[in-house]
Structure 1
Amino acid sequence: MNQEPSTNAATPDRAAPPARRVVAQARFEALTMLRNGEQLLVALVLPAMVLVGLVTTSFVPLGAGRRVDVVVPGVLALCVISSGFTGVAIATGFDRRYGVLRLLGTSPLGRLGLLAGKAAAVLSVVVLQYVVIGALGLALGWEPRLGGIPAMVVSTLLGTWAFVALALLLGGTVRAEGVLALANLLWVLLLALGGVVVPTDRLPDSLEPLVALLPSAALGDSLRAALLHGQVLLGEWLVMAAWGIVATVLASRLFRWSD
């Protein structure tokens, strides 16, 4: 006797739409970054300490202008480097080591979706960092030039692109232990000599021409110009865009999804 197929039979699960998958991955990546004690230290605690230390002391020369107005944009640049470079590089290196990248890359999320999720997660964390550091800066007397906010947004996006691309290049080509050491070492070097919190023109004359070509200096100087004077520094934008393009091309060719 023939039996009609049941209309209540279970149907195979279908993958969520691409945008929803990217959003879910971005949420997971952002929460992972914020729950990791080491990354939270680099992303929020250390930038806040740098801000308070440089504003309340005068042992580091920062040039003309109120110290708080000079320091806050530089610390915002440091936040982008902390999340966009240091955090992403270390997470990518260890995810590659443990096979997480390879598994996610073959899931419905896909490799492009995974990278898009990482980028969106970084931007969401950077927004949180800007809110926290901006509030702390206002409490210390910071008076930003509101007309420079559009330029600040463009500088932040370009800087995030450049540093995330560099992080993927590092995290996708170097062993995890090496990534951990290099990412933290570069964070310290860029903080001290990369034109991030100390304006490029306040560095030693022998270093200034070289540092001016770094994405860290371009980001720091462009944020200071935007929030101090409401100015746009097209040259610094071009520097960050150049680093972003070169790092993106190299990462796309050299990135390894597993050790």
Structure 2
Amino acid sequence: MSAGTYAPKPGAAPLGRMIGAQTALETRMLLRNGEQLLLTVIIPSLLLVLFSTVDIIDTGAGKSVDFLAPGILALAVMSTAFTGQAIATGFERRYGVLKRLGASPLPRWALMTSKTLAVLVTEVLQVVLLTVIALALGWSPHGNPLAVLFLLVLGTAAFSGLGLLMAGTLKAEATLAAANLVFLLLLVAGGVIVPMDKFPGGVRSVLEALPISALSDGLRTVLQDGASMPWGDLGILAVWSVLGLGAAARFFRWE
């Protein structure tokens, strides 16, 4: 054998390559999971069509779809970044997948980054699908696209951090129950399909500080009212992003 034919290079791959490979794997796993697709695609689409075509809830003046579409986009972000990711990561942790990843050169924060990037890829597909459905139902969006992008990114970061925090600290069964319960509660009380002015003043003040409420209200302020930049909602989402991702990075346990 000539010199240089076999030249192993032990050690970790470059960090960027590791994050890219893990992101691609996480994205494939999300898109192949039937239960995840039910949660992230089918339920938001059905809610959008149902509440836009059937007069169930008074959404105020104007077409129902103009009020509902931004809220459903916010729900899609929560379903993917929080509920779906929390459940999937919780069971990966239970079955020892994360324990094995913990023994690899991939840092804990890089794993969280990869999962968040995979969520962003999935959300792009969600946004395209829901936008097409909403436009077919007569939606007339307008506003600053850059503001929408900021809201979606910050909302994803906030929900991703909270989902990873739950999955990394609770048992898988507890994560499954808690994530689904939070999803249902915030669907009703987060300004997604029920206007916030339907709630009493004291309760409304608390609910408006939640990330789903800030994301729903921010998207609605831009896409329905035409505002340029909803700084208040962006600030709430930024605070939740820092708190959620910081707590997840600090308290996430591999097993």
TM range (shorter): over 0.9
Q: Residue 97 of structure 1 aligns to which amino acid in structure 2?
A: R
d(CA) in 1 for partners of 2:246, 2:108:
16
Does residue 99 of structure 1 match 2:71?
no
Please say if residues 169 and 251 of structure 1, whose CA atoms lie closer than 8 Å, have aligned partners that are also in contact: yes
Does residue 25 of structure 1 match 2:16?
no
Q: 1:184 to 1:125 in 2, by over 3 A?
A: same
Please say if residues 62 and 198 of structure 1, whose CA atoms lie closer than 8 Å, have aligned partners that are also in contact: yes
Q: 1:21 to 1:252 in 2, by over 3 A?
A: closer
Q: Residue 151 of structure 2 aligns to which amino acid in structure 1?
A: S
Does residue 184 of structure 1 match 2:180?
yes
Larger deviation, residues 174-183 vs 22-31: 22-31
Q: Which residue of 2 aligns with 1:212?
A: 208
Matched length: 254
Please say if residues 148 and 229 of structure 1, whose CA atoms lie closer than 8 Å, have aligned partners that are also in contact: no
Please say if residues 27 and 118 of structure 2, whose CA atoms lie closer than 8 Å, have aligned partners that are also in contact: yes
Q: Residue 197 of structure 1 aligns to which amino acid in structure 2?
A: I
d(CA) in 2 for partners of 1:18, 1:28:
15
Please say if residues 211 and 217 of structure 1, whose CA atoms lie closer than 8 Å, have aligned partners that are also in contact: yes
- TM-superposition CA deviations, 1:184-236 (whole Å, max 9, x none): 11101100112223332233445211111111100000000111122122111
Residue 169 of structure 2 aligns to a residue in which SS?
coil
RMSD: 1.7
> Could you tell me which of 55, 74, 84 is aligned with 2:52?
55
> Could you tell me which of 194, 201, 220 is aligned with 1:198?
194
Residue 107 of structure 1 aligns to a residue in which SS?
coil
Q: 1:104 to 1:55 in 2, by over 3 A?
A: same
d(CA) in 2 for partners of 1:53, 1:195:
17
Does residue 229 of structure 1 match 2:254?
no
Segments ≥4 residues shifted beyond 4 Å: none
Alignment of 1:67-78 (within 5 A): 67-78=64-75
**Shift in Å, 1:248:** 2.4
d(CA) in 2 for partners of 1:191, 1:198:
9
Give 5+ residue unaligned stretches, structure 2: none
Tell which structure's C-alpha radius of gyration is larger. 1
